[in-house]
Amino acid sequence: MPHGSLTVPARLLLLAYDTGKDRVAGATDLHLAVRAAVLAELAERELVHEVDGIVTPVLGARTGVPAADELMELIEESRPRKWRGWITHRARSTHDTVRRGLADDGYLRAERRRVLGVFPGTRYTLLRAGYVEVLRAEALGALTGTAPPDAVPRDDATLVVLAAAGHLRGLVPGRDRRRHAARLDALAVRAGPHLPPVRKALEAAVRSAEAARSSGGGG
């Protein structure tokens, strides 16, 4: 696999970029999907567990991955929450940490700017569009290919399932979520028993965010 040591959350963020327009497109709730991907990785490593419906951390456990360790600290220090609560609570902080890491590693370029000519901000542009296209081809192969789900690498299965649940339309448009619903269910099983509750919670969080926007309630 050409993505080397990139985590699933990092790959998910890169795949939200439209390589032709050099910007994130069709991924309004990307921050929720990225947070869900970090939670899924922690669950796969058995560093968080569901106890009576509550996400419970292994106290003091760390991974060496900044986004994951920041989330572990947040879970330890905050009031108890279910999966959906941890997908939405301060999710943009996890997204920002993953994005900074991609800039540090040379996948994105961080450019300082002023919003409306007044407020300081940072614009992130894609440095490795060809690399992202390779990632996209691999992800689409996992979704639409002929290989049985059990032959798909678990990280790829996790990536595709969360991209669909997070409504990343540039990778998995709504029509493909419906067309490949059975395949997505099989890939969720392939990813492991930790993924279904995270997937379900992400789907609920995205539906809620979309409903709020459509009713004028914001994001």
Domain CATH number, residue 209 = 1.10.3630.10
Predicted confidence at residue 158, as pLDDT, reads 98
2 within domain boundaries: no
Query: Which structure tokens are listed for 3?
Result: 């993505």
What pTM was estimated for this model as a whole?
A: 0.93
Q: Which amino acid does the sequence have at 52?
A: D
CA distances from 130 to 13, 40, 99, 216 (A): 15, 27, 18, 38
Residue 124 CA, chain-centre distance (Å), reads: 17
Predicted confidence at residue 122, as pLDDT, reads 85
pLDDT tops 90 at residue 116: no
Q: Which amino acid does the sequence have at 120?
A: P
219 within domain boundaries: no
The mean pLDDT of 37-53, rounded to a whole number, is 97
Q: Give the whole-number percent of the chain exceeding pLDDT 90.
A: 88
Higher pLDDT: 219 or 22? It is: 22
In the chain, beta strands by DSSP E: 17-18, 23-24, 48-51, 54-57, 108-115, 119-126
How many helices (DSSP H) and strands (DSSP E) are in the chain?
Answer: 10, 6
8 Å CB contact between 183 and 189: no
Predicted confidence at residue 4, as pLDDT, reads 58
Burial class (CB in 10 A: 0-12, 13-18, 19+), 177: middle
Question: How confident is residue 177, by pLDDT bands cut at 50, 70 and 90?
Answer: very high
Query: Which structure tokens are listed for 161?
Result: 């399932």
DSSP H or E stretch at residue 167: none
CA 31 – CA 157 distance, rounded (Å): 19
Predicted confidence at residue 217, as pLDDT, reads 54
Query: Which structure tokens are listed for 212?
Result: 């709020």
Choose from 16-30, 82-96, 119-133 the range with maximum mean pLDDT.
Answer: 82-96
Predicted confidence at residue 64, as pLDDT, reads 95
Q: How many domains does the chain have?
A: 1
CA 50 – CA 80 distance, rounded (Å): 11
Least confident of 10-19, 108-117, 180-189: 108-117
- Angle among Cα 184, 186, 188 to the nearest 5 degrees reads 70
Domain carrying residue 100: 8-214
191 within domain boundaries: yes
Q: If we measure between CA atoms, which residue out of 175, 204, 170 comes closest to residue 12?
A: 170
CA 111 – CA 100 distance, rounded (Å): 11
8 Å CB contact between 189 and 20: no
